[in-house]
Each structure stands twice: as structure tokens, then as C-alpha cells.
Amino acid sequence: MNSTTETIKPSRLQRITLAGTAFLLVVGAVTGGFVLHRNALVETLRHKQALYADLAALRGKAGAGSDADSTVIEFMLDKVIESAVEAEEPGIAGSLAQKRNILKNASTSDREIFLLALDRAVQKSDSEFRSALDDCTRASNQFVTVISLLFLILFLIVRKEIHRNYIMTLIPLERLSQKISTMNRSIPESVRDTAEAIRNDLAIAPHSSEISRLTGTLADFCAEIEAKNKKLDELFIRDEKTNLYNYRHFKEHLIMEIERSKRADDQVSIAMIDLDHFKRYNDEHGHIAGDRVLEQLAGIIAEQCRSSDMPSRFGGEEFAVLFPQTGTETAMRISERLRQVICAEPFSHEKHQPEGRLTVSIGIASFPADAKDWYTLINNADRALYHAKSSGRNRVCSFSSISSKEETP
């Protein structure tokens, strides 16, 4: 009897050990493959995001009309073509390269053709960026599903072997498998909820030391996936250079705020902010120095805004701030304080500027007083900004003030 028992025990242990080793090898192979695949997807996403940002900046610069410097536009176009090659978008690169000679022709029709080509390129880049983002999320989803299936397979293989002697392992593992099987959808919410449920079960249910380690590893893995998804979300809504919200995110929230204000009979204001004589600064000191100024300016704007405001980079050297539940008077007061802070802030090489310092001009418009929709609101704030520029720069101007002057005989 003792001899039989001694023979069975090593055999059972060997089977469990072999199954566990095979499982770990498979998980390791899947994890390694996922990491390589994910890194490749993230790299592709980074290139496509950079291409979209460069295209948006070029579109903003080229759309400036006669104020745009053709040399700067050509430089930016070359950078866009280079970004398109890195993002593996030969169609965009080839299309824009063919349109390059149009820049040398000053006719309005040719410039319009070039702008239309840019618009199509921006739309295509946006679509490719969204697709790359979906691929990253889908890869994470598939990885979680595969891991879930592997754990379920492991559970089925070893259940008969461990049922009698490892009841403290079997029950926690079954609960764990049930939770993992629901984690392949609704990322990242289900990942976070599953991690919390796993930790709660670990605290109240009997378990073995092996299950403790396994559960801890899975909970940590869920936390890592959630953190990576948050980073992807940030990448989608943030401007890479200034870390402010990008134009897309600004526009989406502006539209939502307009609709909310219509229901609540409330106000919304926006401020368009533009650096004065920034082209001259770039020409004299280079784009690297100009980029440092943009980063410094973005930090000041973020610091001076309220927690409810949304500071964003509109494009090029132009910024925008969304003021929810705010009228023209309050928006003017915040913007004037911001203008004064920027005027007093030391910037590199600012002594060579026309006023001996770097300054900004700001245009304000409010809903519903100045516009009935989001598109008109942006245009009217831009008109107020242009008026601030044309009337001497380094000042804040509201659309209501210039519209009242235009109506006065």
C-alpha cells in the first residue's frame, strides 16, 4: 500500500509540474509576442500622430493667406512629406510632393488647390491615426482574451488532478477564471473592475500561496493595461509639442458646451491667442528657439486658466481657451490678466522684438451674444483677434466691442 502511494504521488506531481511548465511557456511566448507587437503598433501610432500634427500645423499656416511666408510653408511641407514617409503613407507624401510647385505660383486658384490637397491629407491622416489607435486597443483586447482562454484551459487540464488535494487552489482559480472571461470587452472599464474584484476575492476567500502570487500578477497586469490605455487616450487628445489639448478635443468640447448652454440658457466664451511678430522671432532665432517659446507660453496659459477652462493649441503659434459658463466680461478679465503675465514673463531673445519683449494679442467671443453656433463663435473670436492685431497688438479685444463700432454710424 505504501509502495503504491509512493508510486502515484510522484506521477501526479510530475503531470501537474509538466502542465504548469507548459502553461508558463505558452504565457511567456504570448506575452513576449504581444509586447513586440504592441511596441510596433505604438511606434506606428506615434508616427501617424506626428504626421497629423505636422499636417494640421501646415494647414493652419497655409490657410493664413497673404500673411503666410512661402519659405516657411515649403519648409513645413518638406517636414510633412518626411513625416508621411516615416508613417508609411506614400499616398500623402506623393500627393503633397506633386503639389509642391504650386507654392511658387501666387495665384489664388492654385493656392486653393493646394489647400484642398492639404484638407484631404489631413482627413486621411486623421482616419489612419484613428485606425492605428483602434489597432492598439484591439491588440490589448485580444491579448487579454488569449490569456483568459489559457487560464481556462489550464483549469480544465488540472482540475481532475488537484480536486482532492488542492481544494484551496481550485476554488479561487475557478472564481478567477470566471472574472477573467468577462475582461475581453469594454476595455478599460472591465479591466479596472476585474482587477478590483480579483483583489477583493483574494482578501476574503481561502487560497494557496500559488494563487496569491497568480492573482497578484493578474491584478498588476490589469493595472498596467489600464495605465497604457490612459496613455493612449492622452496621446489622442494632447498636442505633442505643448501638452495642451489639441484642436480636435477643443472643438468636441466646444460643441458639447454650446449644446449644454442652449439647454441651460447659459453662456460660453472662447479666447483666441496669437503671439505678436512670431514669424520675425522664428526667422531671426530659428524654429528650435520658437518651439521653446511655444512650450513656455503653453505652460503660462495652463497656469493662468481656471480648473474648469480648457486651454488648447489651435495651430502654429495660435492658442485657444474655452471658458464654460462664462460671459464676455469674465473672459475679458481672465484674458487681460493672462496678457499681462505673458508681457511680464522673460523669454529668450525677446529684446530683439519690435517692443523689446514677446507679447500676445487676444480675441474674445461669447455664445449666444456673439454667435449662434460653434463655427461662427470661432470665426468671430478670430475676427476680434485680427482687430487686436491691426489696432496695435499686445491687447485684448472682444467681438462685441468691434461689432458695436461697426454698427455705429
Does 340 reside within a domain? yes
**pLDDT tens-place string over residues 337-351:** 999 999 999 998 888
Cβ 309 vs Cβ 351: under 8 Å: no
Does 206 reside within a domain? no
Does 260 reside within a domain? yes
Rounded to an integer, what distance in angstroms lies between the CA atom of residue 61 and that of residue 328? 28
Does 171 reside within a domain? no
Q: What is the pLDDT of residue 164?
A: 53
Strand partners, 377: none
Query: Which residues, in sequence order, are CB contacts of 144 under 8 Å at separation 6+?
Result: 180, 183, 184, 187, 191, 225
Q: Which of 69, 126, 125 is nearest to 93 (CA)?
A: 125
- pLDDT-derived band at 7 (thresholds 50, 70, 90) equals very low
Radius of gyration of the chain (CA): 29
- Report long-range pairs for 181-185 (Cβ below 8 Å, ≥24 apart): 181/148, 181/152, 183/144, 183/148, 183/222, 184/141, 184/144, 184/145, 184/148, 185/141
Between residues 270 and 239, which one has the greater pLDDT? 270
Does 131 reside within a domain? no
- Identity at 198, one-letter amino acid code: I
pTM: 0.47
Q: What is the pLDDT of residue 129?
A: 73
- Identity at 89, one-letter amino acid code: E
Q: What is the pLDDT of residue 166?
A: 52
Cβ 274 vs Cβ 317: under 8 Å: yes
Between residues 315 and 51, which one has the greater pLDDT? 315
Q: How many domains does the chain have?
A: 1
Domain that holds residue 279: 247-407
Between residues 217 and 315, which one has the greater pLDDT? 315
User: For cell 494557496, what's the residue?
Assistant: 208
Strand partners, 269: 323, 366
Q: Is the bond into 188 cis (omega within 30 degrees of 0)?
A: yes
- Residues 245-255 have a mean pLDDT of 91
Cβ 300 vs Cβ 242: under 8 Å: no
Does 92 reside within a domain? no
Rounded to an integer, what distance in angstroms lies between the CA atom of residue 243 and that of residue 157? 50
Does 101 reside within a domain? no
Count Cβ neighbours within 10 Å for each residue of 299-327 and write b for 16 or more, e otherwise: eebeebbeeebbbbbbbbbbbbbbbbebe
Check which CATH number belongs to the domain holding 333 and give it.
Answer: 3.30.70.270
Give me the percent of the chain exceeding a pLDDT of 90: 31
Q: Is the dihedral of CA 129, 131, 137, 143 positive or negative?
A: negative
- Residues 10-32 have a mean pLDDT of 69
Mean pLDDT of the chain: 77
The size of the chain, in residues, is 409
Question: What is the β-pairing status of strands 268-275 and 396-398?
Answer: unpaired
**pLDDT tens-place string over residues 162-215:** 555 555 555 565 666 666 655 554 455 555 666 666 666 666 655 556 666 666
Which burial class, exposed, middle or buried, applies to 386 when counting CB atoms under 10 A from its CB (0-12, 13-18, 19+)?
Answer: middle
Q: Which of 396, 394, 401, 402 is nearest to 333 (CA)?
A: 396
Does 17 reside within a domain? no
- pLDDT-derived band at 8 (thresholds 50, 70, 90) equals very low
